[in-house]
């Protein structure tokens, strides 16, 4: 039987509708409008699309969004100054710096400068630490989106072997950290470019999460029959979006799979809205 498709677009819409309803209630009861400030440096075409999609999603859900566009010539000091201003601006609840930044800028220093209570991307070490300890303030949007998909799709995780391919700070590491938390209880393996016989490791996965950045890296023969496959990858191949999993081959082996596009991507944006709403509530000490 071909794999069931985990419809990220539909799940994300449910989350966005929930955010919209709660935002409307917040505005009605308190006058507070959750506000996301996005910072875009330079004109990388993919980043332009991501930022536009995030802005559009905010507007649709009733959140305020402000885009700060800076030229490629922006210096580290200019960007730090803008972050400081946004940190102090009481009307701003979430700050997002679109990555990648131009090469002459130090992303780590920039991300560390964001006030942890406005760090809705959850990249600040304080938020990473809280998440690792199982008491998250914000959860990074992409791994949070994957967890939501597993939950809605009723994928059992306790005692199951989850294999995460990729160890980035944005996807792979937090993904593994969430899967191993008490209550989720997966047994987790992280693979990376130095993993030996990655195919053999992947074939032991009940849940396989691919965040590699290589088009169709995961082949059908790397999957255990019946595995649940979550494809985080977004790769552009000849103007087409392709995941990190060979979708056609995987469909014949897996029990469930996320498509690209229409899988993890829309979930990431939905979780960003959720984090911004949460930040607004926390800043005003609402439950």
What does the binding site for ligand NAP look like in residue numbers (CB under 6 A)? 142, 165-168, 170-172, 191-195, 198, 211-214, 232-235, 244, 264-265, 268
Active site annotation includes 133: no
Q: Catalytic: which of 119, 121, 231, 244?
A: 121
Write down the least CB distance from residue 50 to ligand NAP, Å: 8
The beta-strand segments (E) located in the chain are 4-5, 35-41, 64-70, 94-97, 161-165, 187-191, 207-210, 228-231, 235-237, 240-242, 256-257
Nearer to ligand NAP, 22 or 244 (CB): 244
Q: Is 72 left (phi over 0), alpha (psi -120 to 50) or beta?
A: alpha
Peptide bond connecting 39 to the previous residue in cis, omega within 30 degrees of 0:
no
Nearer to ligand NAP, 171 or 251 (CB): 171
Catalytic, 4? Answer: no
Taking Cα atoms as reference points, which of 223, 226, 268, 269 lies closest to residue 249? 223
* Shortest distance, position 168 Cβ to ligand NAP, whole Å: 3
The Cβ-side half-sphere exposure at 285, using a 13 Å CA radius, reads: 0
The structure tokens 């849940």 sit at 207
CB of 75 to ligand NAP, least distance (A): 25
Least Cβ distance, residue 225 to ligand NAP (angstroms): 22
Other Cβ atoms closer than 10 A to 244: 25
Nearer to ligand NAP, 90 or 237 (CB): 237
How far apart are the C-alpha atoms of 57 and 174, rounded to whole Å? 24
CB of 189 to ligand NAP, least distance (A): 12
Q: By the 8 A CB rule, do 256 and 262 touch?
A: no
Could you tell me if 272 and 36 are in contact, meaning their C-beta atoms sit under 8 angstroms apart?
Answer: yes
49 vs 51: CA distance, rounded Å? 6
Q: Which residue has the tokens 């169709």?
A: 216
Q: How far apart are CA 216 and CA 208, in angstroms?
A: 14
Looking at the Cβ atoms of 209 and 227, the one nearer to ligand NAP is: 209
For the four alpha carbons of 213, 145, 60 and 82, in that order, the dihedral sign comes to negative
Our answer to whether residue 154 is catalytic in this structure is no
Residue closer to ligand NAP, measured from CB, 65 or 142: 142
Q: Report the catalytic residues.
A: 54, 98, 121
């Amino acid at each position: 039987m071909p794999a069931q498709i985990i419809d990220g677009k539909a799940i994300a819409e449910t989350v966005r509708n929930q955010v919209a309803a709660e935002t409307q209630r917040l505005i009605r009861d308190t006058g507070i409008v959750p506000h996301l400030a996005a910072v875009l440096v330079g004109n990388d075409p993919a980043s332009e699309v991501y930022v536009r999609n995030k802005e559009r999603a905010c507007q649709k859900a009733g959140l305020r969004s402000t885009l700060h566009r800076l030229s490629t010539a922006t210096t580290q000091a200019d960007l730090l100054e803008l972050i400081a201003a946004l940190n102090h601006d009481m009307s701003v609840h979430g700050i997002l710096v679109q990555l990648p930044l131009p090469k002459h800028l130090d992303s780590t220093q920039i991300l560390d400068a964001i006030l942890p209570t406005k760090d809705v991307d959850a990249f600040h070490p304080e938020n990473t630490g809280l998440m690792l300890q199982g008491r998250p303030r914000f959860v990074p949007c992409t791994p949070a989106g994957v967890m939501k998909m597993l939950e809605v799709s009723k994928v059992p995780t306790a005692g199951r072997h989850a294999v995460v391919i990729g160890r980035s700070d944005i996807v792979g590491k937090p993904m593994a950290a969430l899967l191993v938390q008490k209550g989720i209880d997966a047994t987790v393996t992280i693979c990376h470019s130095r993993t030996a016989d990655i195919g053999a490791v992947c074939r032991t996965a009940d849940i396989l999460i691919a965040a590699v950045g290589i088009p169709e890296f995961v082949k059908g023969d790397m999957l255990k029959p019946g595995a649940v496959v979550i494809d985080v990858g977004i790769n552009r191949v000849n103007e087409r979006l392709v995941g990190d999993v060979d979708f056609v081959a995987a469909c014949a082996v897996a029990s469930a799979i996320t498509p690209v596009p229409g899988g993890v991507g829309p979930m990431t944006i939905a979780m960003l809205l959720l984090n911004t709403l949460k930040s607004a509530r926390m800043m005003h000490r609402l439950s």
